[in-house]
Amino acid sequence: MKNEKMYDIDFNRPTIVGKELFYISQAIHEGHSAGDAAFTKKCHAYLEQALQVPRVLLTTSCTHALEMSALLLDIQPGDEVIVPSFTFVSTPNAFVLRGAKPVFVDIRPDTLNMDETKLEQLITERTRAIVPVHYAGVGCEMDTICAIASKYNIPIVEDNAHGLFGKYKGRYLGTFGTFATQSFHETKNFICGEGGALIINDSRCIERAEIIREKGTNRSRFFRGQVDKYTWVDIGSSFLISDLLAAFLYAQLEARDEIQAKRQKIWHYYNDHLQDWAEGKGVQLPTVPAHCEQSYHMFYMLLPSLEYRQALISHLKARGILAVFHYLPLNLSDMGRKYGGRAGDCPVTEDVSDRLLRLPFYNDLEEADLACVVQAIKEFDPWYSPLAS
């Protein structure tokens, strides 16, 4: 069965669950497709209620929600922001855009989250924010991170792109930081193509967040009848999502239980069926500490070596199964090096980045597909496969 394609299983496939198209047409028929119309308000109310947070504002992306956080924190040139070295570029970029210097903290070898034991030594006079990323929707060690942040009076911004509805010690991810950011990009649990949200946990920041999101105007207050005209009052930009996309998103949020149940099933299928194989091969499956309820965002494995991973990717690809690696160490990227990043700064990230493989993961994966993936993995023998040479 050399290079013969046997299955066709994508890594990700955006799926709709229910009323997405109906709600989009409803938004069009009602004549409101710009931002902050009926469906945006429904999404805000849904998320505020579900997470019990003071304010949620939908944005065009998680990247933009991170940029809003940097504006709200008045990040200035020369400020330092601590971010994990194993994350998406937007986590540091949003702050770098304001002139900040990213300071990379290595990750834990078990959860692949920011290593909280290495955090305090990176804090300086110039540190203005700590940005934990809840990798794969498993909570960072927030007790320690919050304690360090409050000791030095440094705000936390949670990049919670993976972790919507995950919990740390019974408390929702996204409710710990001054701000938290969500993504509704088509690769995330809840989607609308491109979209995001800023969660504001400090009520004192709500009004300024509304202004920054509305091009620096007090238009939100005007619409609530709190001022009789709106005008330019601060810096800002256009961070509002179209109500057509909010309509898409609202249908997804309404199907929260269905979506999360499907993803939970997929995650456990992989975990249960790969356990023995992984033990035999020295492969590490995801660690979810007992005090964390994960969001079932992805399933990854840590393979014994880079060569092993590349050979397994090829082996699966030959069978029509797309499995992919993930973040490259940011400290070793072109931009990271400009800010002083060097090889060896973040040894766990540098090691894990080479060995991590993500398996196909999307809501509509059937059990038969999952069985194919698992079987194909078990058939892989790196030392005898013709693809390994």
Ligand X SMILES: *Cc1c(COP(=O)(O)O)cnc(C)c1O
Q: What is the nearest approach in angstroms of ligand X to the Cβ of residue 185?
A: 4
CB of 88 to ligand X, least distance (A): 4
Closest by Cα among 267, 359, 354, 364 to 319: 359
Compute the distance between CA of residue 241 and CA of residue 193 in angstroms, rounded to an integer: 11
DSSP state of 238: B
Q: What is the DSSP letter of 365?
A: -
Measured from the CB of residue 101, what is the shortest distance to ligand X in angstroms? Answer: 19
- Those residues whose C-beta lies under 8 Å from the C-beta of residue 112, and which sit 6 or more positions away, are 86, 135, 136, 352, 356
Nearer residue to ligand X within complex by CB, 63 or 218: 63
Nearest to ligand X of 163, 236 (CB atom): 163
- In whole angstroms, the minimum distance from the beta carbon of 124 to ligand X comes to 24
Closest to ligand X by CB, 60 or 284: 60
Select 197 or 372, whichever has its Cβ closest to ligand X.
197
* Stretch (H or E) spanning 167: strand 167-168
Instruction: Tell me how far, at minimum, the Cβ of 187 lies from ligand X, in Å.
Output: 6
Using CB under 6 A, list all residues that contact ligand X.
61-63, 87-88, 90-91, 133, 159, 161-162, 183, 185, 196
Beta bridge partners of 357: 301
* Nearest to ligand X of 69, 218 (CB atom): 69
Candidates 134, 150, 142; CA nearest to 170 is 142
DSSP assignment of 175-217: SSSSEEEEE-BTTSSS-SBS-EEEEE-SGGGHHHHHHHHBTTB
Burial class (CB in 10 A: 0-12, 13-18, 19+), 176: buried
Smallest distance from the beta carbon of 134 to ligand X, in angstroms? 8
Separation CA 186–CA 361 (nearest Å) = 12
Please identify, using beta-carbon distances, which residue of 246 and 311 lies nearer to ligand X. Answer: 246
Minimum distance between the CB of residue 199 and ligand X, rounded to whole angstroms?
14
Nearer to ligand X, 165 or 308 (CB): 165
